[in-house]
A and B are shown apart, each in its own frame.
Chain A
Amino acid sequence: MALPSHILRALEGIVGPGGLVVSPEGLLTYECDMHTFYKGAPDAVTLPQSAGQVAEIVRLCRHEHVPIVPRGSGTGLIGGAMAPVGGVMVSMTRMNRILELDWENRCATVEPGLINLWLSQATRERGYFFAPDPSSQMVSSIGGNASTNAGGPHCLKYGITVNHVLGLEVVTGAGELVRLGGKTHERPGYDLTGVMVGAEGTLGLVTSVTVRLTHVPEGVKTILASFSTIEDASETVSAIIRAGIIPAALEMLDEVVIRAIEEGIGAGYPKGAGAVLLIELDGPVAEIEAQSGPIEAICREHLALEIRVAKSEAERALLWKGRKEAAGVFGRLTPNWLLQDAVVPRSKLPAIMRELQDIGARHRVVIANVFHAGDGNLHPLICYDDRVPGELERAKQANDDLLHACLRLGGSVTGEHGVGLDKSQSLPLQFAPADLNFMARLRRVFDPDSIMNPGKLLPSHPACGEGFRPAARPLPAGTWI
């Protein structure tokens, strides 16, 4: 649907001509996030420069019953920052400043468009960093990280984004511009900050984020252990956790991925290994030295082919480069893929890896794995070629089987990527109607007119698969829509 000219004029009045994109070719840039499967261009993109402008946009859209879709860097993997039913996209790329580095309170306040890594770069000299490290951290924004409650390899030790967010300034779907939380670590009342983090822009738009800064550890030790089978690697992960050691990161890569990385960027991973574990310890030097011995022993007990300890910062960076840029080499593996983000309880890792191999064989698809093994967060990459008839269907069946297998083991649909459009229909697999009803009502409290990021996060939103109807329907307890 094209927006009426009076709305476009009003938007231009708010953000200025330089802050409004309406040309078809300009809008094309915004039609999807990194999950290119889902496409939907907005009718207009606004690039506000202040919270006040964001609030005006929300109030206008609310008045006009126009859907709003927030967007950070567009690096999400869930069909989140795209507009399935059109509407106004609010891109935060021009709100990308560090507003304050408060060393005494060890926190920073930043605009939502700030790139994650920039904050760590700005604080490292003083001995601090921003702990959440999604693999996209070189390009993803902190507002996006907060909205999806992003994880990353090191959240095994440091926790996910919500554990680091002290406060937010938001514009709710009802048009209120409010500051939630802040530099003080607790306040009376409901934890609205905690609810807003991970809400994927369905409750409001984040206009600034106050985050905790973490002191850099005294030492870091990165160990690479290779195994002939993925089962041995999985058992090793369970054994490390069972021994009471929580490394800073504990990542697994399988044979398919190792080969692609070596052919692509050459990170020095042993070719021909069935699986590689990337284990990082950080903290007081005496602690990591004392823990690395038992970890190496556990690896050997589980028949590690090779154990390599990074001897220099350069070598460490190279080992991580392969992991962090793994997604970039997927193109070498397959023309198309489906990416899962399901979670299983840690103890079920060996079981799910066995099941995964069965599923791949059953549906005749290659499944590649590079994932956060330490917290059971899988990222199976189901490869297919959409030029070959039937491959997509087989990939989808494998995907469904996999999701069900994870849930049967007591897991979760998504560990860190979020729900978006991609997984919104999967929520009923994990939640009962009463649970979904509670969430739908929570959404209504913040977004009474159902204009915020329609179609995302919850199933069967009025906007999903049909014309957008912004009318607020009554939502009785005991049902969900």
Chain B
Amino acid sequence: MAVSAPALHDALADIAGREHVLREPAALAAHAIDAMRPAAVVCPANAEEVGRVLALCAAERLAVVVRGRGSSLALGNPPRRLDVVLELSRLAAVRDYVPEDMVATVEAGVTLGALAAHLAPQRQMLALDPPNGDGRSVGGVLATNASGPLRFRYGTGRDLLLGARFVQADGALTWGGARVVKSVTGYDVPKLLVGSLGTLGVIVEATLRLHPQPPATRSWWLGFPTHDRARAFLAALLDSPLQPDRAALIDAGGLRRAGLPADPFAFLLSIGSVAEAVADQGQALERLALAHGGRSQGLAESAWTTLGQVLNGPILLRLACEPRRLLERMAGAQAMAGRLGVEAAVVAQPGHGVAWIALSGSPAPAQVVREVTQLRRALEPEGGSLVLERAPSGLKAEAEAWGDINPEILRIMKRLKSEFDPGDLLAPGRFVGRL
């Protein structure tokens, strides 16, 4: 760090006001990233202040990690350096919302819960429901490309982010994308920002595609005795004209933690549509489950929010595989937990080949590293991946949070990173290939 801590605090206070710069040891410890303490935490009030903070950091060559609401900071490698934590919780305004357009422009620090409350009177929604999502910020959800059961029908942030205002590493306030639902004017810059973990720029404002809330919704729990039967049911569901809007596939470990009937595998599915179609499709869904050796029962709406609790715990892995291999990968995850001598809870996004594996207990780090390495090797031929979404810092340092990616593609990503963050100041070392 080129400047002294007091000088930094003064400079940040000039931008955001003294009460919005944290410098006490306890506050800094509370904002540590992978046990690395920043020299300061700054909470700017708006996009312009974010721009001035980043311009200051660029001039003084200070490393910055962005924080939304602090719920997903475990994702990513430990930073190579850290001077300033830039917290966006004060950017919490819904800037523009025209219900007839089904588009909203919100500041990055708005939580999904607050946004949902804002949209509910118009019976509209942002179709993103990552685990524990209510308290997560829009900017954080986009930067981590977090999604949940609604992905089944509506996709991820990649499909819902129409435009973004962001601040580049040099402090330049920049806009990419559009404020309308359809635009191909210039490059699709928002795609570049989704999932980039604040390493290319800091999202300060998002223009989002909204959807109407379905007039009626019902949910089902569909349990299956074996992974073969669950797999056959999933294939039949995907090959049917049924249109669930939310889908999760959970194994017995996860079901136990959620307090749901713990068949070896169960799907949680909901149908959102007009009442007639909900009833009609619900019956078809139950028939389909029965025909594949499953059983069904109604599911309370509140069950969906328990998924976040299922995934709490010290180690959370995120696996992506070819969609057709999902069930066998879930079974593999349980076998892995057995070898580690811990319990696993697996929650998956059926149809997408994505699964979270939550490990409880404290398995031996060296053994976890070995298992992670082996599983990554097994996933590599199909283009799969295994990300340590949450893990003790030591484990992440050892196993690399993201896993290896193709060296030729990494080369392009490195060029992107050095073009847009030439000083290597935005979350240095946190992203793939230690970018």
**Contacts from A to B (Cβ < 8 Å):** 104-106, 127, 148-149, 151, 155, 159-160, 162-163, 172, 176, 178-192, 194-195, 197-199, 215-218, 238, 241-242, 244-246, 283-287, 289-291, 343-347, 372, 375-377, 410-419, 423, 427, 430-432, 434-439, 441-446, 457-458, 477-478
B409 CB–A CB distance under 8 Å: yes
Instruction: Considering the complex, give the chain A residue whose CB is closest to the CB of B151.
Output: A185
CA distance A410 to B179 in the complex (A): 7
Which residues of the other chain, B, contact A417 by a CB distance below 8 angstroms? Answer: 184
Which residues of the other chain, A, contact B156 by a CB distance below 8 angstroms? Answer: 186
Instruction: Give the distance to chain A from B97, nearest Cβ to Cβ, in Å.
Output: 11
Q: Assuming the A-B contacts A189-B402, A346-B100, are A194 and B243 also in contact, with contact meaning beta carbons closer than 8 angstroms in the complex?
A: no
B180 contacts A376, C-beta separation under 8 Å: yes
Q: Assuming the A-B contacts A149-B184, A434-B174, are A192 and B413 also in contact, with contact meaning beta carbons closer than 8 angstroms in the complex?
A: yes
- Binary CB contact string for chain B from 267 to 292 against chain A (1 if under 8 A, 0 otherwise): 00000011111011100000000000
Instruction: Considering the complex, give the chain B residue whose CB is closest to the CB of A182.
Output: B383
- Binary CB contact string for chain B from 391 to 418 against chain A (1 if under 8 A, 0 otherwise): 0000000000011011011111101100
Instruction: Considering the complex, give the chain B residue whose CB is closest to the CB of A406.
Output: B180
The number of residue pairs between A and B whose CB atoms lie closer than 8 Å in the complex comes to 269
Which among B108-116, B188-196, B307-315 touches the partner chain?
Answer: B188-196
Contact of A435 among B174, B191, B280, B385 (CB under 8 A): B174
B180 contacts A189, C-beta separation under 8 Å: no
Instruction: Give the distance to chain B from A158, nearest Cβ to Cβ, in Å.
Output: 11
Which residues of the other chain, A, contact B406 by a CB distance below 8 angstroms? Answer: 178-179
B183 CB–A CB distance under 8 Å: yes
Instruction: Give the distance to chain B from A185, nearest Cβ to Cβ, in Å.
Output: 4
Contact of A346 among B181, B195, B385 (CB under 8 A): B181
CA distance A394 to B103 in the complex (A): 35
Interface of chain B residues 326 through 384 with chain A (CB within 8 A): 351-354, 382-384
Top 7 nearest A-B pairs by Cβ distance? A194-B191, A244-B212, A218-B241, A347-B100, A412-B183, A287-B277, A104-B324
Scoring A377, A435, A457 by chain B CB atoms within 10 A of each residue's CB, the highest score goes to A435
B59 CB–A CB distance under 8 Å: no
Interface of chain B residues 172 through 186 with chain A (CB within 8 A): 172-176, 178-186
Contact of A286 among B274, B353, B432 (CB under 8 A): B274
Which residues of the other chain, B, contact A423 by a CB distance below 8 angstroms? Answer: 185
Contact of B277 among A195, A245, A284 (CB under 8 A): A284
Given A195-B192, A287-B276; 16 other pairs, CB 8 A cutoff? A104-B322, A149-B184, A162-B191, A178-B409, A186-B145, A186-B156, A188-B403, A194-B158, A241-B100, A284-B241, A286-B274, A345-B179, A414-B185, A430-B186, A438-B176, A446-B412
B277 contacts A185, C-beta separation under 8 Å: no
Which residues of the other chain, B, contact A189 by a CB distance below 8 angstroms? Answer: 402, 405, 409-410, 413, 431-433
Q: Assuming the A-B contacts A244-B212, A246-B212, A290-B276, are A185 and B354 also in contact, with contact meaning beta carbons closer than 8 angstroms in the complex?
A: yes
CA distance A180 to B100 in the complex (A): 37
CA distance A347 to B210 in the complex (A): 14
CA distance A184 to B209 in the complex (A): 24
A438 contacts B320, C-beta separation under 8 Å: no
Instruction: Give the distance to chain B from A375, nearest Cβ to Cβ, in Å.
Output: 5
CA distance A416 to B188 in the complex (A): 13
B382 contacts A184, C-beta separation under 8 Å: yes
B419 CB–A CB distance under 8 Å: yes
B239 CB–A CB distance under 8 Å: yes
A198 contacts B101, C-beta separation under 8 Å: no
Instruction: Give the distance to chain A from B326, nearest Cβ to Cβ, in Å.
Output: 10
B32 CB–A CB distance under 8 Å: no
B189 contacts A442, C-beta separation under 8 Å: yes
Which residues of the other chain, A, contact B276 by a CB distance below 8 angstroms? Answer: 286-287, 289-290
6 A-B residue pairs with Cβ-Cβ distance under 8 Å, sorted by A, are A191-B192, A375-B181, A376-B180, A416-B184, A439-B186, A442-B416
Q: Assuming the A-B contacts A104-B324, A375-B181, A438-B174, are A477 and B168 also in contact, with contact meaning beta carbons closer than 8 angstroms in the complex?
A: yes
A290 contacts B192, C-beta separation under 8 Å: no
CA distance A217 to B382 in the complex (A): 30
Q: Assuming the A-B contacts A185-B353, A414-B184, are A191 and B194 also in contact, with contact meaning beta carbons closer than 8 angstroms in the complex?
A: yes
A151 contacts B182, C-beta separation under 8 Å: yes
A284 contacts B242, C-beta separation under 8 Å: yes
B14 CB–A CB distance under 8 Å: no
Which residues of the other chain, A, contact B251 by a CB distance below 8 angstroms? Answer: none
B186 contacts A458, C-beta separation under 8 Å: yes
CA distance A368 to B276 in the complex (A): 40
Scoring A160, A163, A413, A477 by chain B CB atoms within 10 A of each residue's CB, the highest score goes to A477
B323 CB–A CB distance under 8 Å: yes
Contact of A184 among B181, B212, B274, B321 (CB under 8 A): B321
A190 contacts B413, C-beta separation under 8 Å: yes
B300 CB–A CB distance under 8 Å: no
CA distance A319 to B403 in the complex (A): 52
B159 contacts A159, C-beta separation under 8 Å: yes
B11 CB–A CB distance under 8 Å: no
CA distance A148 to B241 in the complex (A): 30
A438 contacts B189, C-beta separation under 8 Å: yes
B155 CB–A CB distance under 8 Å: yes
CA distance A442 to B418 in the complex (A): 11
B322 contacts A105, C-beta separation under 8 Å: yes
Instruction: Considering the complex, give the chain A residue whose CB is closest to the CB of B166.
Output: A438
B192 contacts A187, C-beta separation under 8 Å: no
CA distance A419 to B281 in the complex (A): 43
CA distance A198 to B100 in the complex (A): 27
Q: Assuming the A-B contacts A172-B412, A289-B276, A438-B174, are A190 and B195 also in contact, with contact meaning beta carbons closer than 8 angstroms in the complex?
A: yes
A244 contacts B172, C-beta separation under 8 Å: no
Q: Assuming the A-B contacts A375-B181, A377-B182, A434-B174, are A346 and B101 also in contact, with contact meaning beta carbons closer than 8 angstroms in the complex?
A: yes
Instruction: Considering the complex, give the chain B residue whose CB is closest to the CB of A424.
Output: B186
Which residues of the other chain, A, contact B100 by a CB distance below 8 angstroms? Answer: 238, 241-242, 345-347
CA distance A241 to B431 in the complex (A): 40
A343 contacts B274, C-beta separation under 8 Å: no
B184 contacts A347, C-beta separation under 8 Å: no
CA distance A373 to B279 in the complex (A): 32
Instruction: Give the distance to chain B from A369, nearest Cβ to Cβ, in Å.
Output: 16
Instruction: Considering the complex, give the chain A residue whose CB is closest to the CB of B387.
Output: A188
Contact of B273 among A151, A287, A438 (CB under 8 A): A287
CA distance A199 to B394 in the complex (A): 41
B424 CB–A CB distance under 8 Å: no
A185 contacts B320, C-beta separation under 8 Å: yes
Which residues of the other chain, B, contact A185 by a CB distance below 8 angstroms? Answer: 320, 323, 352-354
Instruction: Give the distance to chain A from B409, nearest Cβ to Cβ, in Å.
Output: 6
CA distance A435 to B178 in the complex (A): 12
Instruction: Considering the complex, give the chain A residue whose CB is closest to the CB of B408.
Output: A178
B170 CB–A CB distance under 8 Å: yes
Which residues of the other chain, A, contact B194 by a CB distance below 8 angstroms? Answer: 191, 194
Contact of B280 among A192, A286, A437 (CB under 8 A): A286
A245 contacts B187, C-beta separation under 8 Å: no
Instruction: Considering the complex, give the chain A residue whose CB is closest to the CB of B190.
Output: A194
B215 CB–A CB distance under 8 Å: yes
Scoring A199, A287, A416, A438 by chain B CB atoms within 10 A of each residue's CB, the highest score goes to A438
B28 CB–A CB distance under 8 Å: no
Scoring A185, A441, A457 by chain B CB atoms within 10 A of each residue's CB, the highest score goes to A185
Which residues of the other chain, B, contact A434 by a CB distance below 8 angstroms? Answer: 168, 172-175
Instruction: Considering the complex, give the chain B residue whose CB is closest to the CB of A148.
Output: B184
Instruction: Give the distance to chain B from A176, nearest Cβ to Cβ, in Å.
Output: 6
B175 contacts A432, C-beta separation under 8 Å: yes
Contact of B196 among A180, A190, A244, A457 (CB under 8 A): A190
A245 contacts B212, C-beta separation under 8 Å: yes
B200 CB–A CB distance under 8 Å: yes
B352 contacts A415, C-beta separation under 8 Å: no
Instruction: Give the distance to chain A from B98, nearest Cβ to Cβ, in Å.
Output: 6
B405 contacts A190, C-beta separation under 8 Å: no
B298 CB–A CB distance under 8 Å: no
CA distance A340 to B413 in the complex (A): 36
B102 CB–A CB distance under 8 Å: yes
B188 contacts A412, C-beta separation under 8 Å: no
A194 contacts B384, C-beta separation under 8 Å: no
CA distance A188 to B76 in the complex (A): 10
Instruction: Give the distance to chain A from B217, nearest Cβ to Cβ, in Å.
Output: 13
